[in-house]
Structures are given as structure tokens and as C-alpha cells.
Structure 1
């Protein structure tokens, strides 16, 4: 049998296939009602749903509340549309999902990383129904505002999710079914938003999630192709400039990807700080560099005398519940780097366990499954490239000479609130 990267556990609602729609809805309703009453149900919710229900309870979401939210103003919606790379792949998403949604009595919804709806299209009648639950442009559909739903739960889980009928935490959504998947920027791995297909519960089909996930992967492929083309254009600009320089120099795009290099071995990518511009900067992988702007990127000229500077302090700031960040400081300067949810989890665990953790221990910390070492090693490989010189392996740990400080939220039980990693959940319980 051919295998793919898609996780069948994400949509095992297929187990209801032998049941008719009314029986499926009845069983889900019984499970939901028992959970809301604080009782143990005879049929447990799927793990992804059960974990989401626990999160939204902590957020204080009332299962009987409505779905209304304060809408973004039209000018703000337009600003967010024009500021995201998702705008470049809307034709791909519309071609792959919009027409299918229309024909199947559903709608396609595209959100930003906060779960705010930026675009929607599909069947006209379902669009009118969506207005009645505030599934419209500018509305908020994160878990902390609208409970368990495919958009908000995919945002939190970082994976494709299908939510059907009474799997929604809010009773008002029990007549809906939805399937959603995240879209990531291939240039830096950051979440761009969520693509969702929603409709009346009668339109449920277990294959919808696989379709949504496939089309989002196609959109990411389109973005990857556009990025490679832009790097090639930058390389054409860089070649004559570097040919006239002596010493070490690189040309990178705005995300740090290498276009050309002279006087030193090539690298795939140079991690750049959040705030970056012309002038002198200290970068952990290069030392002090003189930075000059180029069309579509930067010229980095390495200052030989300062390349020995190394970081001595890391501040892992987890106080912003939506935007974890690492600030790295050394003798030559400092820089800050936003962290993905997974990288924030990894750095938190390594900060707590300064003696180090094996790949199996980290897999247990993050997934509750010590066999998921391949995923752990891949994430740590990316993280070590971003934080060059700070992390060791065998075991994985912060280097001994690096001072590490963790800044927690005012309410420690709000530590990485969207995380389901056992090590983070356990820390919240211990601090609550």
C-alpha cells in the first residue's frame, strides 16, 4: 500500500462510516453532553477532540455561548490580505477547493495565523448560513474565542483536523461539519494561516480532510517554487557584486536563504534577527557583519576581527501567550528570534533539563511517545541551525557556558497555553 505523510488518525471519523448520519450525530451528542456535565462517557471522544475540549474549558469557553466576535474593520482585513503570502496562492486554493466546496454544498474559508477569517467562497446558500454563526470575513475562530472547531483546533494542533457535529464544543455548531489544515511558509516554517472547508453536518465525508490537506500542500509547493525563483533573481544581482569583493561575504534573501557566497564555505541559511537592516550586526553563525541592502535581500560582509564572538546568554520569553521568543546576547551584541510552538516547547524542556535529554526522552516530553525520535531529531536539526553555537547533542542540551533564563507568564498555568506536550501540561499542573 502506498504511504503518505498524512496521518490517518487525524480523520478517524471514518469509524462511523457504517452508521447512518443520524446515529453518528446521536453518539457524538451523547459523548459531548456527558463531557459538559463532567461525567465519563461510554464512548470517549477522539484524542484530538478530547484534548481540545480540555483546553477550551481552561480558556473559560461556555458550551452554550454564541459564536459572535468583534469583526476586523474592512481596512484591517485588506491590510492582512495584502501582507500575507497566502494572497499569492489563493488561485491554487480556489481552484483546488473553492469549486469543490460549491458543488458539495460547502464553503472554503482561509484565515490568518490568529484564526481571523480573511477569505471565503463557495455555495451561496451555505455562505448565508455561515453569516448566522459569524463565519465571515474578519471573525475570530481560534479555540479561545469559539471553542473546538476545525480552524481553531488546527491552529493549536499544528496539523490537519476534522471536527464533526457535536465534536464542536459550542452547541450552536453541532449542525456543522468542518475540515481544516495549516499552511506554512516554506521560507521560514512560520504558520501563514488555516484553510478550511465547512458545511451543514449532512455534507460530512471522511475524505474531505485528505482533500483539504492535499491542496494546502500544493499551495506550499507553489510558494516554494516562487521562493526558488526569487533566490535565482537575487543570485543574478549578487554575482557581479561579490566578484569585486575581497574577504568573506554572503548575499541572502530577506529570510536568510543563501543566494551567493565568496571567501567561505556555503551555508543553506543564515538566521536573521527579527529587526534587521543596514548597519553592523552580530550574528551567531558569522560574528559581526556589515549589512547592506540589495534588491530582494542583503549583502553580509563578515568583519574578520569580530568573528570569534559567541553567545553567552539566552532569554526564553514565554510571557506572551501568542508569541514566544528567544533573545540571544553575546559580547558583540544581541538579537531576538520568534519561535514556532514546537521550538518553544523544545527550548523550554531543554532549559528545565540543563543536564540534557536524549531523543527518546524528548519524544516522551513532547508527544508522550518515546518512539517518535525521527520527528524530534528533525525539529532539533532546524532549531540548531537557527541558534547556531548554543545547543549540543548527545545528549541534546544548552551548552554549559550559556546562561539561560526562562520568563514565564504572570499566571504560570498559562505556560504555552496551546501546547499539548506532556512536559508542558505537567508543568502547568505543578504550578497551578
Structure 2
């Protein structure tokens, strides 16, 4: 059986996917197609009015079928072939003029084809086409894209650890330049059209990009209830989707299957008791005051989390126990990462912060510090032989320092964040601080 630490290239990833259920495979490869979707939309818009609307809509439909299949695979078999054929027709309109955009379309088509016949090879080709789209963009054969491999590898680790197919944001601490540029262009194109035409697709795209998927039952209804003929016209599709959305208005739009966070973070956050009114106000005031400074700080923290995850994934393990400990640490890091990413979305853009978002941010700050205190060891004294590594690793030090720096920017007393960081490292170098941390944790958790 392929071990997770062996996944470092395309072949290793494909070998691992062969050990999983077909639904898991669809979950992984459909995210690859999502990452290159903006390349397709930008290519279509460059082509001009003759392809705008119809062409991009067909590929959006094919990817939507793939994403709905993650949670409703049997019910998508009927709709996938038609979606694949329509997207294939659309791709022919630009295949020779823009190979990068065409490959992005082929990735979506391959997913729909794979769902039609439960074809594992077709599913893998979706991943390969996504890589080709980036390679064409750079106009050179770069091999299996390192940035794509890393993101897919992160998806694999989360899926293996949790068996949960909701895998968080598409990218880590920051997206590559080509994605950031084409993502903005795609959203600008949609904003320039009549708002009703692409409003749903803009919201759906942002929900997928940011790892907060829409209500899967609503998305299933969109695929099942809109007639094939209607899919030829973006405005007609928009009108039908609006009707379906009104039916689901009473439901929470971002509702997801149980435990939507990749490693339990969102479920854990939801289970936390509400913070005190004064602490919620403090969180809101701090985030409003620091709204311009928070994004780069959070990006830095996410970057160091990603570096530490990558280091843990690819280091040489002493034995099976050491490998299991690395997996446990990665799971903790993924929870912290998910909470920090969610906090990033809540950073206010104006001088006010909605009450509901302030309440959520306050809970997330508690979750981040709680998990930071627990990582990387289950309890003081565990794994004493790697104490030097725990204390001296630069990524860990930067991560803890970054969280300590961020703490007052989200309304948390900085001394508490520094104490939480001390618990992470423990050991002889900071015994006195660790003792203070223990007393703080006892008071915090024991009342």
C-alpha cells in the first residue's frame, strides 16, 4: 500500500488514489479542475462575444456536476454525459487559439466523463489536464507542477486523516501569481456583465475557492432540475437558479455535510460556548483597527503552517510510531490552518464588523490558541527524544511567534498567546514560562 510520505510526484499521487474509493478520487481531481477554471473563463472572454456566455457556462456545468458528485455520486451518473458533451463542444471553440484555457476545459470534461462510467483513468486525466493548463501558460514543459502537487498533496493528507471530502480552501497561504491574476480577471468579467447573469456563479466560485461550499442539496437541485435546453443561455439558467435558491432561502446557504472542517475545526468551533459580550466587542474593535495589517500577518502564518506541514510530510521517519506522531501533528496543524483561514475571511473591509462575524472570530481565536497549546505533543513528556527539534525548528518558532504577534490584532491579550506558544515548545530552555502556561491553562479550562 502506498504510504502518504511516498507521495511526492504525479506517479506517487496516482498510486495513492488507486487505493481510495472513486468518490474520494472525484473529490481530489475536481479540485484540480477548479484551480485552473479561471484560465478557461479568461480564454473564452479573450475570444470575444461569439463564445461568451454559452462556452464558459458549459464548463461551469461540468465542474459543478463533479463537485456535486463528491457527495452524491450515484445521482450524477445520469447528468454527467450530457454535461461532458456540451463542455467538449464549447472547448472546440478555442482549442487551437489558447491551449492553456482549452486544457482547463479538458480537465472539467474528463471529470464528467469519469463520473459517467466510473472511469478511474479518465479521472486521473483530469488531474493531468489541469497540470498541462499551467504548463501551457508558462509555455514550457516544467514537469508535474510543484505548486499543484503540493496543494493536491495537502488534499490527500486531509482526506486520509479524516475521510472527509470537504477539504478547505483551494490554495494554501497564498495562491500562485497566475491564479491570482486570472481569478481577478474572471471575477471582473462577471461583474461587468448584467449582475443577474453571473451572480450565482460568482458566489459559488468564491465558496469553492475559499473552502466554504454551498448547501449541497441546493447544488444537487440545480443540476437535476434545470433542463438541458436551458443550459444554453446564461440568463435562463440564472433565472432557474434564482427560483431554486428562493426555495432554499430558509436554510443556511453555507450548510455542508457533518464536520465541514477538514480536521474537525469548524465543528469544534461551533461547539464552543459563546464568548462574553465584552470579549466579542474587544475582538471586533481590534480587527477593525487592524483590518489593513491583518491580511499580510495571516498570510505569513499560513505560509509557515504550510512549510511545517511540508517538512513533516517529507522528512525521514525513525519508525512507525514516529510516522504516526507526524500524522497527528499534521492533523493539529490543519485544524489551526483551517481556523486561521476562516479568520482571514472575517477581516473587516470597513470600520464596522457585523455582530455575527465578531462572535465567530472570537470563537476562532479561542480555537486557534487551544490547538496551538496542544501541538505538537499530546502531553508534556511525549516524544522526549525529539525535544531539540521541537525547540529549535525555525518554522515552528516563526509560526508561534506569528500567532503571538497576531493575538492583540484580534483582541487576545498578547501574554496569553506567548504563553500558549511556550506550551508548544516546552523543555528545559523555557521551564519557567511553561510552568506559567500550565497555571494559565488550568485557570482557563478549569474555570
Task: Mark yes or no: TM-score above 0.5.
Answer: no
More helix by share: 2
Could you tell me the TM-score, scaled by structure 2's length? 0.30
Higher relative contact order (CA 8 A, sep 6+): 2
